[in-house]
Structure 1
């Protein structure tokens, strides 16, 4: 296989579609976890964070699909890393006024979320770095 195979336009299209689908999956998982698109979790700041994440994930997916590469992969890394950090903090020491999830490391939806966000992070970080080297926007 030649070195040029990694730069075939179809390969980047596949990666962008995969990233977009993973972003949409992050959004859907968090909508389900909060109890619906119009619901807001308690405490209020957690509910707002969920809504911000869902909107950011949808915008990021669209950016990837329309070809806004560098910003798309940067935001995709954030869409992945933010909830991963939130999962660790909410299950570990807990968050202010939110201790319901402390110790609930094996909650099924949480594990699915970790898998999706981990895959998105592993996809987005190297492709963001590659976009910096190639000067693509």
Structure 2
């Protein structure tokens, strides 16, 4: 196990994100589109918000990335999360408009 100086809550948040992404994928595979796309949107929004907060004002006990807006891996992550958000929101809206008979 490697030691890190990051706050414990960041590691927990990453694990929660991984579990939420897996649950979203399972929901979508099972045909439960409304909760699946809703959770997928949350999986996209969480890291986007975390990126902005960690680079802007900083997070509690974590200010290492304040002002580091152009980190290459962070930018790739933003692109992937943005793509997931752009995919999930219209599909979620479509599933909400669909009537059940």
TM-score between the two structures when normalised by the length of structure 1? 0.68
Q: Corresponding residue for 2:49?
A: 85
- Which deviations, in whole Å up to 9, do the C-alpha atoms of 1:4-63 show, x marking residues without a partner? xxxxxxxxxxxxxxxxxxxxxxxxxxxxxxxxxx76862011111011001111111121
1:109 has 2:63 as partner? no
The answer to which structure has the higher helix fraction is 1
SS at match of 1:100: coil
Contact 1:40-1:48 within 8 A present in 2 as well: no
- Evaluate the alpha carbon distance shift between residue 113 and residue 40 of structure 1 in structure 2; reply closer, same or farther with a 3 A threshold: farther
Distance 2:3 2:11 in 1: 5
Question: What are the within-5 Å matches in structure 2 for residues 27-106 of structure 1?
Answer: 42-106=6-70
In structure 2, relative to structure 1, the CA distance for the partners of 1:40 and 1:131 (3 Å cut) is farther
| Residues 56, 101 of structure 1: alpha-carbon distance in 2 compared, 3 angstrom cutoff | same
Cα offset, 1:135, TM superposition: 3.7
Over the residues paired in the alignment, what is the CA RMSD in angstroms?
1.7
- Give the Cα–Cα distance (whole angstroms) in 2 for the partners of residues 66 and 91 of structure 1: 37
TM-score (norm 2): 0.90
Q: In 2, Cα distance between the equivalents of 1:72 and 1:105?
A: 30
Instruction: Tell me, in whole angstroms, the C-alpha distance in 2 between the residues paired with 1:40 and 1:135.
Output: 51
- What stretches of structure 1 of length at least 5 have no aligned partner? 1-37
Q: How many residues in Structure 1 have an aligned counterpart in Structure 2?
A: 99
Q: Gapped runs of 5+ residues in structure 2?
A: none
Distance, in Å, in 1 between the alignment partners of 2:51 and 2:3 is 17
